[in-house]
Structure 1
Amino acid sequence: MFWVLFLLLAWAGVLIASARLLRAAGETAEPVAGPAAAPHHDGLSLYEAAYLAGGPQRVAELTLLSMQRERRLLLAHTGWATVLDPVGRDPHERSVLGAFGPDGQEEVLAIRSAVERDPAVRDLADRLGEAGLALGQGSVREIGEGIRSVRRATLLVLGMTVAALCVPAPGTTTTMILCWFALPLILCAGCLAIARVEGHAHSTWASPAGRRLLVELGRERGGQGSLTAVALRGLRAVTDPEVRAALACGNRGRIPRQRGY
């Protein structure tokens, strides 16, 4: 029955990882403000909605798309952007323009990275956090660490299963061992499945109060193709395939410099 020790190790790893994930999820689910203090979704700017729905990257994508629609930027489907109007109207637009080189051209990936790190985004996050609409960076990290812990626990269970099968166990069948180890594996799979569903249903950047505002905003002004829809759903809401390719192209690595715009 030496294999039981491996089973106990597997259960210990799974329970610790699951508890960590549940604790992180429970902290983010706690209400941070009473109904009287809850703001209305009309008070959200598009930048604020974008941050709550998708974090700094969504803010960068929204800024680029907004400037492109106003014909102040040219976005090529190959992943390069060209400045048409060098005057920024707000801090986020100025961070976009500040990422361009002297020739007025730059990769979308580099621009997006610069905007995500800009102090304007940090100020935006601080304001939303103080209003109780955004999760703190610590909460986001805790959720991510909890999910990674469950994944490591899954690998631990699999490893312990292999080890148990390699140990002679008189009177114990392989099927029995596999059934016992299937229980912690099912718990890990359930935790990961719930985390995945919740991650798709809710932003990991918004608090419960922030999520409610996003739902209300989507119901009233989330029509497909609008800037509000892009703020809420990201590139999936961009109807122009060339613009969508331009904003997503940087994720596929370096691309050749554009010439002759």
Structure 2
Amino acid sequence: MFWVPLLLLACAAAGLSCGRLCLAASRAAAQERSAGRGHELTLYETAFLSGGPSRVADVTLVAMARARRLLIAHTGWATVVDPVGRDDMERSVLGAIGPAGQSRIAPIRLGAAAADPVRALADRLVAAGLAVPDGLGAGVTAAVRQVRAATAAVLALGTVAVLMPAQEHGAAGQVPVAVWFSLPLLLCVACLLIARVEVHPYTRWASPAGQRLLGALPARDEELTAVAVRGVRATGDPGLRAAFAHRPRP
């Protein structure tokens, strides 16, 4: 009966890992049920779900440049033309530029992406079930990895137990040792199969409901929408693309 401790260890590994996966999956399902129906994405919401806070800053900068309220040079500098922001996002960009009225684009993007308006936007999208809460997608992925590791551990422990010499069935009757180890193995495999079917893939920013809304966006050539979805590379202005891609020489 020297294989019994190995069986207990295998059962513990399978039970703990599968329990963690079930808990993470239930949290993901609750977040999916809370997704708002009939929500129409704004430009900033589209940008956040597609590329996160930095994409919101990019869209704001491009919108201000197109409206001639911000001058963006191909060398990577932004100069304020109109110091009055039309919404919170634009005011955060102007605040990131600072009182000098001129700054490189990289620190502007960092400052605007970390500003309160973007955090408030993220909170609203999470509350609507359209954005991924911190740690949710990573928690599901980590739980799946843990179950896979537990599956490998159960197989290894079962192999060791079967190969141990002088096995005695004792109270277990004539049931082979491998059958006992097949129980935690079956639990792990079943959890992985259920997770593959039921747990939806998560991007870094958009939940499955958010991904559906992004996929339902009308196919149009509006530049700001294209920038929100695909980034600054989607703009038709080569000067803007060069400005955002510019890296200062050391």
Which category of TM-score, normalised to the shorter sequence, fits these structures? 0.5 to 0.7
Q: Which moved more, 1:152-161 or 1:21-30?
A: 152-161
How far apart in 1 are the matches of 2:177 and 2:239? 59
> Which of residues 100, 118, 121 is equivalent to 2:97?
100
How far apart in 1 are the matches of 2:230 and 2:198? 22
Structure number with higher helix proportion: 1
What are the superposed Cα offsets for residues 17-60 of structure 1, whole Å, 9 maximum, x if unpaired? 22022201210221566x7xx45x3xx43113323444433312
How far apart in 2 are the matches of 1:6 and 1:256? 57
Report which of the two structures shows the higher radius of gyration computed on alpha carbons. 2
What are the superposed Cα offsets for residues 52-91 of structure 1, whole Å, 9 maximum, x if unpaired? 44443331232233234445242658xx443253523332
> TM-score scaled to structure 1, two decimals?
0.62
How far apart in 2 are the matches of 1:7 and 1:237? 51
User: 1:184 matched to which residue of 2?
Assistant: 188
User: 2:72 matched to which residue of 1?
Assistant: 74
Contact 1:95 1:118 in 2 (8 A): yes
How far apart in 2 are the matches of 1:128 and 1:107? 26
User: 1:20 matched to which residue of 2?
Assistant: 23
User: 1:169 matched to which residue of 2?
Assistant: 164
Secondary structure of residue in 2 paired with 1:89: coil
> TM-score scaled to structure 2, two decimals?
0.64
Q: 1:238 to 1:93 in 2, by over 3 A?
A: same
Number of residue-to-residue matches in the alignment? 232
How far apart in 2 are the matches of 1:73 and 1:164? 68
Contact 2:53 2:113 in 1 (8 A): yes
Mark the runs of 5 or more structure 1 residues left unpaired by the alignment. none
Amino acid at match of 2:64: M
Give the aligned CA root-mean-square deviation in angstroms.
4.6
Secondary structure of residue in 2 paired with 1:99: helix
Contact 1:68 1:75 in 2 (8 A): no
Q: 1:129 to 1:103 in 2, by over 3 A?
A: closer
Give, in angstroms, the shift of residue 99 of structure 1. Answer: 2.0
User: 2:230 matched to which residue of 1?
Assistant: 234
